[in-house]
A and B are shown apart, each in its own frame.
Chain A
Amino acid sequence: MSTNGDAAVEVVPVRHVGQWFAMGFVALLIAMFVHTLFSKIPSGARSCHLIDGRNQCHAILKWRFGWNLIFHYFTNGGILRGLVVTLELTALAMLVGIVLGVVVAIMRLSHNRLMSGVAWTYTWLFRGTPVYVQLLLWGFIAFLYPTFAIGIPFTHIYLFQFGANSVFIPFNAAVAGLGLNEGAYFSEIVRSGLIAVDEGQTEAAISLGMTRAQTLRSVVLPQAMRVIIPPTGNEVISMLKTTSLVVAVAVVDLLGAVDNIIGQNYQPMPMLLLASIWYLIVSTILSIGQFYLERHFAKGALRTPPLTPIQRIRQDIRGIATKYRTKRGVQKGATT
Chain B
Amino acid sequence: MTEPMVEARGVHKSYVGVEVLKGVDLKVERGEVTCLIGPSGSGKSTLLRCINHLEKHDAGELRVDGELVGYEARGDKLYELSDRRICHERSQIGMVFQRFNLFQNLNVLQNITVGPIKVKDVNEEQAKKSARELLARVGLEDKEKNYPTQLSGGQQQRVAIARALAMEPKLMLFDEPTSALDPELVGEVLDVMKDLARSGMTMIVVTHEMGFAKEVADTVYFLDQGVIEESGDPKTVLTSPSSPRLQSFLSKVL
A-side residues, CB < 8 A to B, are 198, 200-201, 203-212, 214, 218-219, 222-223, 299-303
Contacts and interface: CB of A to CB of B under 8 A. Distances in A.
B150 interface: yes
Most buried by A among B84, B99, B115: B115
Contacts of A204: 95, 97, 101-103, 160, 163
Q: Is the interface of A mostly helix, strand, loop or mixed?
A: helix
Interface string B82-103: 0110011111111101010111
Contacts of A301: 104-105, 149
B77 to A, nearest CB: 24
B105 A223 contact: yes
Contacts of B193: none
A301 B88 CA distance: 30
Given A209-B167, A301-B105, A301-B149, 16 more contacts: A200-B97, A203-B54, A203-B101, A204-B97, A204-B101, A207-B52, A207-B93, A207-B164, A208-B90, A208-B114, A208-B163, A209-B92, A218-B103, A218-B118, A299-B147, A300-B107
B143 to A, nearest CB: 14
Contacts, number: 81
B115 A208 contact: yes
Contacts of A209: 87-92, 115, 119, 167
A210 B104 contact: no
A204 B118 CA distance: 14
List of 4 A-B pairs having minimum Cβ-Cβ separation, nearest first: A209-B91, A204-B101, A200-B101, A208-B115
21 contacts: A198-B101, A200-B99, A201-B103, A201-B104, A204-B101, A204-B163, A207-B95, A208-B119, A208-B164, A208-B167, A209-B88, A209-B91, A210-B115, A210-B119, A211-B84, A211-B87, A214-B119, A219-B103, A299-B147, A300-B148, A303-B149
Contacts of B93: 207
Centre residue among B105, B106, B149 by max chain A CB count within 10 A:
B105
Nearest to A225: B105
Nearest to A207: B95
Contacts of B92: 209
Contacts of A219: 103, 105, 114
A212 B101 contact: no
A20 to B, nearest CB: 43
A302 B87 CA distance: 32
Nearest to A300: B147
Interface in B183-241: none
Contacts of A206: 54, 87, 90
B91 A208 contact: yes
A12 to B, nearest CB: 41
A76 B167 CA distance: 63
Nearest to B52: A207
Interface in B48-69: 52, 54
